[in-house]
Amino acid sequence: MKTFPVAAFVLALVQSALGCSTSDGTKILAWMNACDVVPGNSTAKCADRECHKALHYLEEEETAECYVQLGLGLSTDLDYYKLLDARSDDQALDGFVRLDHGGLVGQMPQSRVPQRAPSP
């Protein structure tokens, strides 16, 4: 019977829709605002604790799906925050490599340094 796969799909779709509420939309908008209110460039936004924390939520696929389900906009609206999150994580990794409890750490061996794709 082919009704089982269709029923399973519909059930999954309903559960997905039910998992996203207007309070989730409020959270998403608050996360976006946490970065939007920080003056300055991406470095300043990444350095801001609340913005950095919000970026980790904004880059999640579930967040984008909920954003669209609630009619807040297109999933591409969150691309800026995803890029900002990637930049923030790169900066944090760079700082982790150089700092250890406020002191300078020896150079990380080149073989252990994470490689990043070249900037366009």
pLDDT digits (tens, 9 = 90+) for 91-104: 544 444 444 444 43
Instruction: Report domain extents, the chain.
Output: 21-112
- pLDDT score of 37: 96
Q: Report residue 59 as tokens.
A: 């880059």
Q: Which residues of the chain have pLDDT under 50?
A: 1, 4-15, 92-115
- Residue 42: the pLDDT is 87
The candidate with the shortest Cα–Cα distance to 85, out of 119, 51, 37, 116, is 51
pTM over 0.95: no
Please report the DSSP string for 97-115 in residue order: HHEETTEE-PPPPGGGSPP
